[in-house]
Amino acid sequence: MDTYHIYQQEYQNYLLESKRGDKHGFLVEALLEGTLNGDILEKKLKPLRKRNGTADFQLVEVIRVLYFPKVDQEVKDMINEVLIDFPFWLSKWNDGDSDLVYWSENHMICHISSSYLYCQYQGGVCDEEDLLFHYLETKLKFGFYEALSPVYLPITLSALLNLVEFSQDDQIQRMSHELVDKIFTDLCYFSLPRNGSLLSCAGRTYPSYRHSPLKKNIHQAMRLLIRSENVSTLPKASRLGDFMASGTRYSPQYIPPDATNPTLPQCIENMTMSHSLRGEDGALDVHYSERFYPFLMSAGLYLHPAALEKILGVLSSTNLWNHSHFRILKVASYIFCCLPFFFPWVLNCLLMPFNNITCGSSLTDITASVYRTKSVVLSSFQNYNAGQTGFQQTPWMVNISSFRL
């Protein structure tokens, strides 16, 4: 048995012995013992019934439970009652599901992967399989818009780990495995060599993650991959760690760079982290059909002049004007319906004075550089959205012994 799976077993025992309850560890308990407390299950199903905006975070958890062989059929029937009419994708969305979010990168893979695995579980055909292949192929080739995000990449990883563990399609399983390796490898390159803490530039993150990273979900989960003299104890329980410990099919093809490995390059320049916007292989070209236009939204191009007409088309074709996130723009829907060919041009003209804001949220064209010593990591996105107003972006960071600068 390789080092990773030995450590994984230790972590499983730790989760069971510490009785982490509904917050962390319930997946390991469901896998190994087949037990799932009724209160915990209800807590996971309630957001799915209410169609809460982040219900897909619970969706990937209950999908995982469906595949655990020791879990009682009665529990699986309760899950199935909720999922049987769940709107896994925009094509099934209606006004009553107004808070569900599909279009950011992490939400997208949670919904699409869960749709695929639920259809596979039911023995049916998944309407979103083409979207799943498009997602996996483009991320492998071009990278992630939410580059190096300690907030959102753990969510993306949980969905990908479900595909690694349960997909019966060898190609989907292989591509998902490669993507998990890719994410962990990139994160480790930007982590502090002394203890593996992650304080780096990021495509999207929260202010709290720019301060102390040591207690965060991503740091605890990454320590399952980092076993060294300086990091010898088990990590604290975490949501992503629960996914990593409740599976058997993920085995790193290349263990991500050990945080203390002296052979790692000290300086890496101009790593391509996300898709370019324009060009033959740019996002505007690759996400070429209306079916793939939501991928442009996941790139932060909501009101970007280059993608505005396509985004308006998505809002109209799916009636997202009634969604809580876009309701403020609903008056624009009436104009768009009357003047579909001229309205995008008119709106672009009106938004032109605000281009530093509408273009600033773009998560495309990210290249990153990092300089690492044992106790210091300097990282930055190169020439990224200069002079524009960003959203949740951290274009540079200094990590000095797990303290930010």
Q: How confident is the model at residue 341 (pLDDT cuts 50, 70, 90)?
A: low
Question: pLDDT tens digits, residue range 245-261?
Answer: 899 899 887 655 554 45
Structure tokens at 103: 């279009």
**Prediction pTM value:** 0.91
Residue 2: other Cβ atoms inside 10 A: 10
Helix/strand/coil for 43:
helix
User: CA-based diameter of the chain, in Å?
Assistant: 67
Task: Please name the helix (run of DSSP H) or strand (run of DSSP E) that holds residue 370, with its range, or none.
Answer: strand 367-372
Question: pLDDT tens digits, residue range 125-142?
Answer: 999 999 999 999 999 999
Question: pLDDT tens digits, residue range 207-221?
Answer: 777 766 666 778 777
Question: pLDDT tens digits, residue range 149-194?
Answer: 999 999 999 999 999 999 999 999 999 999 999 998 888 888 887 7
Mean pLDDT over all residues of the chain? Answer: 85
Compute, in degrees rounded to 10, the torsion defined by CA atoms 239, 242, 248, 254. 50
Structure tokens at 221: 């989960």
Q: How confident is the model at residue 315 (pLDDT cuts 50, 70, 90)?
A: confident
Question: C-alpha angle 174/176/269, rounded to 5°?
Answer: 105
What's the confidence (pLDDT) of residue 229? 47
Instruction: Count helices and strands (H / E) in the chain.
Output: 17, 5
Residue 26: other Cβ atoms inside 10 A: 23
**Cα–Cα distance, 292 to 297 (Å, whole number):** 10
Q: Could you tell me the sign of the dihedral formed by the alpha carbons of 87, 88, 89, 91, in that order?
A: negative
Tally the C-alpha atoms within 13 A of residue 135's C-alpha that lie toward its C-beta: 27
| SS3 readout for 198-223 | CCCCECCCCHHHHCCCCCCHHHHHHC
> 3 or 139: whose pLDDT is higher?
139
Between helices 105-122 and 55-66, what is the axis angle to 10°? Answer: 30
